[in-house]
Amino acid sequence: MNCLNRVLFVGAVVLSVIWGAVWPAHADGDRRLTLLHICDVYQIEPSGWKEKMGGFARLKSLLDTVRREDPEALLFLPGDFLSPSLMSGVFKGRQMIELLNGVALDYASPGNHEFDFGMEVFEQRLAESRFPWLISNMSHQGEPVSGMPRYTLRKINGVMVGVFAVITPETGELAHATAHLTFTDPQVVAKEMVALLRGKGAELVVAMSHLDYADDLALAREVPGIDLILGGHDHIVRIERVGSTPVVESGSDLEVVGRVDVLMRPNGPEITVTHIPLDASIPDDPAVKRLVDGFGQRLESALGETIGRTEVTLDATSAANRSRETNVGALITDAMRQAVDADVAIHNGGGIRSDTMIAVGTLSLQNVHAMLPFGNLLMKLEISGSALKEMLEHGVSQMERGKGRFLQVSGVRFSVDPSRQVGRRVSHVRVGEEPLHAKRRYTLAVNDYLAKGGDGFSMLKGAKVLIPANHGALLTDVVSAWIRERGSISPVVTGRIQIRERE
């Protein structure tokens, strides 16, 4: 996914790197450190709607340049890389571990998506890692999680560096695989870690954080003694100082690499942070590019895997999904609603592609990904009945023109009269077995595009968020799992959307 169109730069100096440039050498006697930061990495190749940014092959080339300047430069990744993505849905994050091993990651910590495939898979990925994982506020029966120490101390360029890591406690609520784990208040644990690390001689204390950005700022404000917070989770590019502590976010999908230069002064560290765009000016590392291409070829082969069969022809045509209820719309929205236990589910007809009639017979992953090509994530919102009615009205407001805002639905039934004035076309709305109540609160399963106001659904932008996008599952994984669980499917049109025919 490309976040460049929605990132927020605050106080950041963005470097336009001329490839081959050399950063200033360390002065004799100076104690300097170079720390590099990436976060929320889902794609292994350059991605983006306009300019293609990121990619592990470019990352390796950049790292090699920095490490020639400073052989002890450290690379940090605070969570969310094993999932979600099309490739991770197939390989369960194995490709990420192999590539992170290939670029010589120094430290990782888990994010909420590390547990998407269950603890057994997570432990397999942990065992495959040639880099250490850290986590400080997650425990198993009161003990550190096996294979993940709570902190580390390491002397770099003559400086004793202490590192600890915290993860959002919401992970315990939203990742079912973590049921046997305990998550502790990050601020409480951070105070403990700072005292412990300083007591052991740490001159620089670094926190790896997979918290909401507001919680990162609170961590810097409420816990004295943290010199640097390297964050993740929010998919933004941002640098903000709280007192003397920089709080750094470096986007997602390797769109930028955060570079932190530390000069140790008698009165404490002097820290400078920049972001380096990982664009086409940076060449691919050949060896890593071969790894990336190999996974791409394996993915293409894996997409042919059979996940079930359909006993009815599936209507994935664009015209149908933008104008009336379809059995593909029912399939997608039923899977969404069940996955997050919502009252209602919606999906914009314009987001259903492939424009084909899928014949009776076997279904493959390729069928699902052709229908849902945009990499959307599943969210859960809470909205009022009046907002739900407004949402349905907006969905049918341009149905005669075949606009993509037309909604496929689950858990709700309604009638539409296209001859009526826009905003007054929908009637007889029922949620489940009950008539819609304007003041009642309903839960809504929705893709992240619509939740953020896409296709003009502005009434959803202020809705209460129960499951945010950065906790959500990939929609293709949700639908694929639905089909796998059943083995055989027969979705039908049941009159969820009753359209009055023009006389």
Q: Give residue-wise pLDDT tens across range 166-216.
A: 999 988 866 656 778 899 999 999 999 999 999 999 999 999 999 999 999
284 & 310 share domain = no
Q: Are residues 437 and 489 in the same domain?
A: yes
Return the pLDDT at 7.
36
* Residue 420: band (very low, low, confident or very high) from pLDDT cuts 50, 70, 90: very high
Do residues 172 and 217 share a domain? Answer: yes
Task: Look at the chain and report how many structural domains it folds into.
Answer: 2
Whole-angstrom distance, CA of residue 392 vs CA of residue 144:
49
Instruction: Indicate if 286 and 378 belong to the same structural domain.
Output: no
In a shared domain, residues 242 and 340: no
pLDDT digits (tens, 9 = 90+) for 453-501: 999 999 999 899 999 998 999 999 999 999 999 999 999 999 999 998 7
pTM for the full predicted model: 0.81
Domain boundary at 267, 299, 331, which? 299
- Cα 446 to Cα 85, 339, 373, 389: the distances in Å are 18, 11, 16, 15
Q: Residue 144: what pLDDT?
A: 86
pLDDT (0 to 100) of residue 392 = 98
185 and 312 in a single domain? The answer is no
Residue 176's pLDDT is 56
Considering only residues 33 and 85, tell me which one the structure prediction assigns the higher pLDDT: 33
**% of the chain beyond a pLDDT of 90:** 82
Domain with residue 318: its CATH number is 3.90.780.10
Res. 143 pLDDT band, cuts 50 70 90: confident
Q: Quick one: 336 and 268 in the same domain?
A: no
278 closest CA partner among 17, 10, 6: 17
Alpha carbons 98 and 256: distance in angstroms, whole number: 21
Confidence bin at 10 (pLDDT 50/70/90): very low
- Residue 2 above 60 pLDDT? no
pLDDT band, very low/low/confident/very high, at 51 (cuts 50, 70, 90): confident
Mean confidence (pLDDT) of the chain: 91
Q: Are 282 and 61 in contact (CB under 8 A)?
A: yes
User: Is the pLDDT reported for residue 28 higher than 90?
Assistant: no
The answer on 285 and 147 residing in a single domain is yes
How far, in Å, CA of 357 to CA of 315, rounded? 5
The reply to whether 389 and 247 lie within a common domain is no
Domain boundary among 248, 269, 299: 299
Q: What three-state secondary structure class fits 284?
A: coil
Same domain? 318 vs 181: no
The pLDDT value recorded for residue 146 is 84
Same domain, 278 and 398: no
Q: Does residue 80 surpass a pLDDT of 60?
A: yes
Kindly give the pairing relationship between strand 314-315 and strand 378-384.
Answer: unpaired
**Averaged pLDDT for residues 148-176:** 91
Can you give the CATH number for the domain in which 146 is found? 3.60.21.10
Tell whether the model's pLDDT for residue 11 goes beyond 90: no
State which residues form the domain around 40: 36-299
In a domain, 21, yes or no: no
Q: What is the pLDDT of residue 175?
A: 62
Q: What is the mean pLDDT of residues 242-247?
A: 97
Q: Is residue 17 part of a domain?
A: no
CA-based angle 206:207:209, to the nearest 5? 150
Domain end position, chosen among 299, 330, 362: 299
- Residue matched to tokens 């990162």: 216
Judge whether 215 and 187 are in contact, CB under 8 Å.
no
**What pLDDT score was predicted for residue 18?**
28
Q: Is the pLDDT of residue 361 over 80?
A: yes
Residue 5 pLDDT > 50: no
Residues 394 and 478 reside in one and the same domain: yes
Report the percent of the chain where pLDDT is more than 70. 93
